[in-house]
Amino acid sequence: MDPRTLIVSCVEYYSHLKSIPSNKVFVSFEQADFIKMILDTQKMVPEMGPDFYIGMIDGLTYLESDSAGEEYIHYEERTALTTEVVAMLQKKHKMNDLEACHMYYHSKTAESVSEEKTGWYKKSPKEIYDLIEAE
């Protein structure tokens, strides 16, 4: 799994598990150096997937209790959408994976995409990309 997809998959999956908007999960992961830890660990055990990394993070910290409801159930759709948008940002701005993820998750648009009730996860990658570029 490429680093961009791994970062996005971990963020969106954790968002789903903990019922926390993904933009807030990314900021928290960033502040706690979890992104670096994930990327460093991937170099040592490249065969591991998001479940492994989420278990590792869950063992180190807690952001909130596990989800009791189904607030963030469309994480797979958000993961696919976000991965494409991040790739578009990366290409346009000649960024590395982490820089492009940072640009995406710190945008106002990402905040709307990460909130299930907006339905923005249903928009096309191009629509989301254009909104971020317009910010």
**pLDDT attached to residue 57:** 83
Q: What is the pTM (predicted TM-score) of this model?
A: 0.74
Section 18-25 average pLDDT: 90
Burial of 94 (0-12, 13-18, 19+ CB in 10 A): exposed
- Residue-averaged pLDDT of the chain: 88
Mean local confidence (pLDDT), 93-120? 93
pLDDT score at 111: 92
